[in-house]
């Protein structure tokens, strides 16, 4: 990326590289900064260190199993991957989903949005060096980890959606609804305290503001979806187009500043919107079945489904063969479209701040890595023949 940069003939002193094992990273990737003194002139993020061959794992599996592997794409967005994976076949074969199931899917999705955003705060504060606030974020996050545990049986992988609805295990009963309402109320007041405290802290704010600018043009050019794009003034949120979100009333947070602070603030505000949605769900949860079981897997053309996740837009797509087995599973995840934006945003900042800027785009790359072209250990590009020789099963 950044072709124009080359023509400027920047003299670059040295390279600093961090990762893939490093305190600033919450998963394996490598950041390379090309710096003059301490100012970042260019940045390169090397992903694909978590390449597990996920897309190939799906090949030939019965479609009911897709969601279980999809859920394992990532432990932060687990639910949305499972959800989107069933949305593909629901869209492709026209499977009706009961409204109650849709509500609960959205509920779990919003729970995870909050946990993801709070994890983001925890991570951002950790990168900022502010251990106390990081711990407070994790403490607040526990509220929703508990709720996920109650609903789905696990704090991280609730395995809620199945084709045609949700697992009966995750159905809400009255007492659970009450617990959710109580927790959400308690959480909200604590969360507001925490936000006030953070916003009023001059040291924290001086670290956040004035760095990591991403203009709207760049956001559009690099297709930075999700809060990253929205905090650069790009008013784009797929939830508006998703039929599951039609019944709910919420605001899409769009900020125009485009700096690191805006990216943090927009997520902070999104949590409050999620709380609104959760309240509406608990209040208006329709009665009825939670799963439609009258469907059969049959041949399905290649179908695509998009969902707005916590970091942006997520695509899942596959086709089914005659036997109902998955063919050609493809995933395109939000972070991959945000990567180029991250690399762009951190140029011109101090190294420590550049890492913060990257953290403020909420990178999480386990899902992004599917195409490996480099042989392990040797830094060279493998030819196709070699790849096939080595990983013969690919063909």
What residues between 224 and 283 interact with another protein by CB under 8 A? none
- Contact criterion met (CB below 8 Å) for 163 and 268: no
Read off the tokens for 119.
Answer: 């994890």
Q: Which is nearer to another protein, 57 or 242 (CB)?
A: 57
Q: How far is the CB of 372 from ligand SF4 (least distance, A)?
A: 8
For 288-350, where are the alpha helices, taking DSSP H only? 334-345
| 394 belongs to the binding site for ligand SF4 (CB under 6 A) | yes
Choices 2-10, 66-74, 143-151, 279-287 (CB under 6 A): range interacting with ligand SF4: 66-74
Q: Which of residues 164-203 bind another protein (CB under 8 A)?
A: 167-169, 171, 173, 196-197, 200-203
Residue nearest to ligand SF4 according to CB distances in the complex: 74
Of 322-341, which residues contact ligand SF4 (CB under 6 A)? 330, 332-335
Cα dist. 250→32, 91, 110, 231, 281 in Å?
39, 25, 12, 17, 12
Give the CA distances from residue 134 to residues 85, 125, 139, 156, 355, in Å, rounded to whole numbers and listed in that order. 32, 5, 9, 19, 16
Task: Give the interface segment with another protein, choosing from 86-94, 130-138, 232-240, 264-272 (CB under 8 A).
Answer: 130-138
Start-to-end CA span in the chain (Å): 31
129 binds ligand SF4 (CB under 6 A): no
Nearer to ligand SF4, 73 or 180 (CB): 73
Which among ligand SF4, another protein, none contacts residue 129 (Cβ within 5 to 8 A by kind)?
A: another protein
**82 near ligand SF4, rule: CB under 6 A:** no
With CB under 8 A as the contact rule, the residue among 355, 362, 363, 368 that binds another protein is: 355
Question: Rule CB under 8 A: is residue 395 a binding residue for another protein?
Answer: no
For position 75 contacting ligand SF4 by CB under 6 A, the verdict is yes
Q: Rounded to 5 degrees, what angle do the CA atoms 287, 289, 292 make?
A: 145
Q: How far apart are CA 327 and CA 207, in angstroms?
A: 48
Percent helix, strand, coil in the chain, to 5, is: 50, 15, 35
**Partner from ligand SF4, another protein, none binding residue 378, C-beta < 5-8 Å depending on class:** another protein
Beta bridge partners of 43: 33
Q: Does 352 bind another protein (CB under 8 A)?
A: yes
Among 74, 281, 307, 347, binds another protein (CB under 8 A): 74
- Is residue 56 within 8 A of residue 134, CB to CB? The reply is no
CB 233 within 8 A of CB 258: yes
Q: Is 73 a residue that touches ligand SF4 (CB under 6 A)?
A: yes
Kindly report the CA angle at 53 between 65 and 391, in degrees rounded to 5?
125
Under the binding rule (CB under 8 A), the answer on residue 125 touching another protein is yes
Contact 163, 295 (CB under 8 A): yes
What φ, ψ does residue 181 adopt, rounded to 5°? -60, -45
Does 267 interact with ligand SF4 (rule: CB under 6 A)?
Answer: no
CB closer to another protein out of 5 and 276: 5
Decide which of ligand SF4, another protein, none touches 142; Cβ closer than 5 to 8 Å per partner kind. Answer: another protein
Positions in the binding site for ligand SF4 (CB under 6 A)? 47-48, 56, 72-77, 81, 156, 309, 311, 330, 332-335, 364-367, 370-371, 373, 394
């Amino acid at each position: 990326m950044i072709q124009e940069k080359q023509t400027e003939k920047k003299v670059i002193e040295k390279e600093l590289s961090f990762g893939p094992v490093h305190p600033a990273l919450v998963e394996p990737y490598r950041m390379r900064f090309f710096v003059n003194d301490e100012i970042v002139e260019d940045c390169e993020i090397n992903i694909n260190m978590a390449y597990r061959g996920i897309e190939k794992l799906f090949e030939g599996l019965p479609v009911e199993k897709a969601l279980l592997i999809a859920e394992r794409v990532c432990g932060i967005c687990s639910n949305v991957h499972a959800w989107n994976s069933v949305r593909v076949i629901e869209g492709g074969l026209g499977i009706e989903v009961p409204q109650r199931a849709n509500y609960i899917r959205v509920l779990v999705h919003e729970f995870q949005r909050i946990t993801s955003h709070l994890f983001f705060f925890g991570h951002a504060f950790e990168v900022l060096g502010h251990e106390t606030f990081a711990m407070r974020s994790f403490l607040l996050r526990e509220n929703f980890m508990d709720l996920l545990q109650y609903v789905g049986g696990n704090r991280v992988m609730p395995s809620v959606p199945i084709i045609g609805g949700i697992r009966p295990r995750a159905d809400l009963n009255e007492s659970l609804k009450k617990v959710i309402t109580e927790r959400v109320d308690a959480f909200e007041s604590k969360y507001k305290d925490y936000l006030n405290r953070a916003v009023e802290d001059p040291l924290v704010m001086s670290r956040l503001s004035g760095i990591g600018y991403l203009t709207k043009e760049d956001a559009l050019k690099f297709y930075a979806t999700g809060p990253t794009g929205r905090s650069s003034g790009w008013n784009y949120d797929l939830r508006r187009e998703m039929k599951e979100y039609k019944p709910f009333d919420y605001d899409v947070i769009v900020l125009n500043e485009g700096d690191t602070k805006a990216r943090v603030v927009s997520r902070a505000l999104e949590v409050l919107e999620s709380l609104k949605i959760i309240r509406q769900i608990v209040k208006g949860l329709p009665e009825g079945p939670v799963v439609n079981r009258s469907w059969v897997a049959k041949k399905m053309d290649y179908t695509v489904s998009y969902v707005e996740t916590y970091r942006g837009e997520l695509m899942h797509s596959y086709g089914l063969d005659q036997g109902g087995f998955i063919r050609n599973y493809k995933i395109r995840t939000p972070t991959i479209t945000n990567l180029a934006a991250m690399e762009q945003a951190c140029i011109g900042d101090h190294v420590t701040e550049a890492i913060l800027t990257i953290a403020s785009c909420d990178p999480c790359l386990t899902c992004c890595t599917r195409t490996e072209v480099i042989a392990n250990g040797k830094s060279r590009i493998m030819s196709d023949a070699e790849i096939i020789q080595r990983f013969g099963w690919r063909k």
